[in-house]
Chain A
Amino acid sequence: MNKILFSAVSKKFVMALAGLFLLLFLPVHLGINLMLLKSDPEPFNSAAHFMATFPLIKVVEVLLFLTILIHITYGIFLQIQNWLSRPVGYKVRNKSETGAFSRFMIWTGGSVLIFLVIHFFNFYFIKLGLVEGDPENFYSVAWQLFSIPGYAILYWICFLLLGFHLYHALQSAFQTLGLSNEFWKPVIRAISLIYAIAVPVGFAIIPLVIWLF
């Protein structure tokens, strides 16, 4: 039984499920973030307040953290196993044709992880009282951060990398879950492309607008 639950295929299955859950969460997060574009801080702050206090969201939050943890742990674990599968490498770089960004998931994923840590430091830790700041006014926290050019640039780079990650992630998840075939493959690829552009662009627009106006 253990063999089945912890086979490489099962691990990938869990990773894909976790990844898809995270993919669902991103648009929700984006929706709230887009309220930052309003000059009135109220809608954003109340949305943030709702997210922080509504009991059902609390449950989802725990689930979210667990998902992130599983996705990352399994990702790293599989990656190590994969590196060990080829102890002696090639002298000439492998030029086999591959799907875009598919070979760099550990690196794009890793970058997103670093951003996540910074993000937690900036917002979540305020909520927990670990870092100084007003948990009832994330609107101003966000505006302050985005007005730092270095932060905005880092933010953009991370979302660019996230886009790369997402493009392969979405189609790969379908493939791993066994939901791809000759007919659906191009459809899934198109959806992946739209998603991988729309979501990061949506996030990236915010500091841009803040800068310009």
Chain B
Amino acid sequence: MITLNSKIPDGPLEEKWTKYKKEAKLVNPANKKKLDIIVVGTGISGAPAASSLGELGYNVKVFCYQDTPRRAHSVAAQGGINAAKNYKNDGDSVYRLFYDVIKGGDFRAREANVYRIAEVSNQIIDHFTAIGVPFAREYGGTLTTRSFGGVQVSRTFYSSGQTGQQVLLGAYSSLNRQIKAGTVTMFPRREMLDLVVIDGKARGIIVRNLITGEIERHSAHAVVLATGGYGTIYYLSTLAVNSNASAAWKAYKRGAAFANPSFVQIHPSSVPQMNEFQSKLTLMSESLRNDGRVWVPKVRGDKRPANEIPEEERDYYLERRYPAFGNLVPRDVASRAAKERCDAGYGVGPTGLAVNLDFRDAIKKQGKKAIEEKYGNLFEMYKDITGIDSYEEPMRIYPAGHYTMGGLWVDYELMTTITGLFAIGEANFSDHGANRLGASSLMQGAGDGYFILPYTISNYLAPEIKVPRIKTDTPEFQEAEERAVERINRLLSVKGKQTATDFHKKLGKIMWDHCGMTRNEAGLTQALNLIRELREEFWKDLAVPGSADELNQELEKAGRVADFLELAELMVIDALNRRESCGAHFREESQTADHEAQRNDDEFAYVAVWEYNNDQPPVLHREELKFEFVELKQRSYK
């Protein structure tokens, strides 16, 4: 049975991190190279962690399923990265960034963690700039920023509409520098199949070499999971199709508790689904809402082309409902508002499941060139996919599964409930509460990796210097490898009729319908049964061609879907448990008179932390959220 200790340093909010750093134990440079660290994942959290740990002198082994670390899906983040630089002189500060994230997360995140990420945000921008990330600039040569949803200052640094790519490639370059220096060893095309725990401490992982099919054992003094989120559980999402939850899920089954699994952000603007073959919903950056106005026709079922609908017959529903924030309300609010309009029959496009995002007024005011400079690549991408020129007519957008605020529970040191197992970036639950604000994911991922984990992991490793290099021939490694092999054989031996993708699509539909943008008791209960039935069917009728000792993409997929089928159940259980609406989690039973999310702080101001309990239902632990520095308020963007 786990006990939760969030290890938050005491003292005033602004001094907690400073105090922690002052008191944290250090490892002598000569001892660092005797300590091995495994990092799984090379996204905007994993790559910074690996490179900065390498810079410190640790012996780092990095794993990713892609052919090169540069392809991690952080590469697709578009809009930007937040920092409290206050370059615009518009009243920004570390405190305001902290407050916006806490409020944006609907008061379901830990104050101390959020304040810390706001504190390091400025360092992140300094660092990326120094390693050659070409952020957008003013003519005077200084960095520029733009606005993002849910805040009233302009604090988002960006590189056109591909900020994620630029910062990820920056992190990748640092990683390369350490690979050259010999402190980091890269293992691409490896998928983590299990975590090895020895005497209660995370000591290694089992991976499958995706090219040869070989099962490998890797040991270390500490293991860091930077494996991202599980938004692909919906099948159609804005994520890369191979993004998966398997590593985190394996850690969960080895004893790392999972926090708030049902907190999934549905991004308000993605290219709507067009057909049943579609494998992906492409994101259209939130930054577009800076200049684009969201509207639907005032008349239900109006099928006229958008440009033929006169101004007075357009309903700019975000501006109407939320005059203070208008089109820049947070994502959860924008998504639900779009769903509400479409469900009421006002949706546009062939399916009626879309709303307009119109740039007409912005182009009229700023000129086409200015818009092109800010969003050129997004307009191009949209045209490639849909054939529609958004300079001439509005984009059509619809919400899609995007980011998971939930994840492995971690304490202030980013350590999970398994000693020596750390989770950073989207893989953990820590900073975004029930809803993430735009441009905060790159901030949190990079912050965890560059400026937080290096301190906290050293604090953990300091006493470990006496532990010699961990051997991989122990019974624990043996058991974990056997378990991994057994599972692969099980997947291959079903020999049924349906592919992993078939099951994934079915699971995705269940989750989208019942555990998506809005949830209710009856739907969730039904989903629970549907998931269990589907899981049974999966193990009876799965078809995986080929063998285990070769490159076998269907086998990879099957393993990931099998884990999703288990995780889905936990998500639904969590969603059922939280009988309040907060952030992205909208329980229909809990709404205000004007259909906004109704929080219930008396009963649910806690992090729901789930412990794996073998075949029994998971055990719920509560980490009470104490708000000492901010006042709990009903979120309002009106």
Answer whether A and B touch in the complex at a CB cut-off of 8 Å: no
Chain B residues within 8 Å of A, Cβ to Cβ: none
Where the two chains meet, the residues of A that have a C-beta atom closer than 8 Å to any C-beta of B are none
